[in-house]
Amino acid sequence: MSSIVNYSYNAEGLSKIKEWHYGINWPAVYIIYNTDTAYVGETLDVVRRTEQHLQEDEFKQFTDICLISSKTYNKSVILDLESFLIKYMSAEESKKLINGNAGVVDHDYFYREEAYEDDFRDVWKELVSLQIVKRSIAEIENFELFKYSPYKTLNEEQQRTAYDILKRLGEINNASQKSLIEVRGGAGTGKTILAVYLVKLLTDLNRNKNALDYIDNNENAETIRHLVKTFGH
């Protein structure tokens, strides 16, 4: 059973977070939001991360923060919960997400999302009751937008293809070449989902957003860093 608390996003709220059972040195997911915009993140120390965000201009627009954790949570679980919330909140559209999507991939950890599916759905129901989101999961899953969300989780093959394409784009850009990259696959293999994901990622990079905030420390990190330098200026 997850613990879900909601505080004002200010110095007073930070004081209450310091008193929360999972506020310090424990994995948690958080949603910083106002009436129409939100950011979803994960951290191993909510107090420290909140202190950082309170100093950042991009986050000064927010008024509230919702925290989610449990005694059973670990890094694997919060990564999956973060991806789950981003995926559903982006399709639900009651709040515009300012998240990038570079880290929304299929994490290969011991604890999989399926093991926590009921808990994640209970978290969503509580978010509905708090009026942070409005629609049920069943409603969202019927949306066409959900099927082709730019935050859709990529499987391993899609992730590998995405990074291969991004790496090739970087090479083409540096060489001032014109080139065509073709992705082939049968119906239902995820080509459209991959294309939407890449458009969102490249758009964020072109706007000079810090996509590195949304990726894990893995072998693909250097490719994204290269792309930030290539397309982010």
Residue 107 sits in the same domain as residue 23 = yes
Measure the CA–CA gap between 22 and 41, rounded to whole angstroms: 15
Residue 71 sits in the same domain as residue 167 = no
- Number of compact structural domains in the chain: 2
In percent, how much of the chain has pLDDT > 70? 67
The parent domain of residue 29 ranges over: 3-147
- The phi and psi torsions of 67 (rounded to 5 degrees) equal -115, 140
Decide which of 147, 170, 194 is a domain's last residue.
Answer: 147
Q: What's this model's pTM, rounded to 2 decimal places?
A: 0.65
pLDDT in tens, 117-148: 889 999 999 999 999 999 998 888 776 556 65
The single-letter code of the amino acid at 205 is L
Decide which of 147, 166, 191 is a domain's last residue.
Answer: 147
**Lateral strand order in the sheet of 28-33:** 3-8, 64-69, 28-33, 37-43, 96-97
pLDDT in tens, 4-44: 999 999 999 999 999 999 999 999 999 999 999 999 999 99
Decide which of 81, 112, 147 is a domain's last residue.
Answer: 147
Residue 24 sits in the same domain as residue 113 = yes
Measure the CA–CA gap between 44 and 29, rounded to whole angstroms: 9
pLDDT in tens, 35-85: 999 999 999 999 999 999 999 999 999 999 999 999 999 998 998 899 889
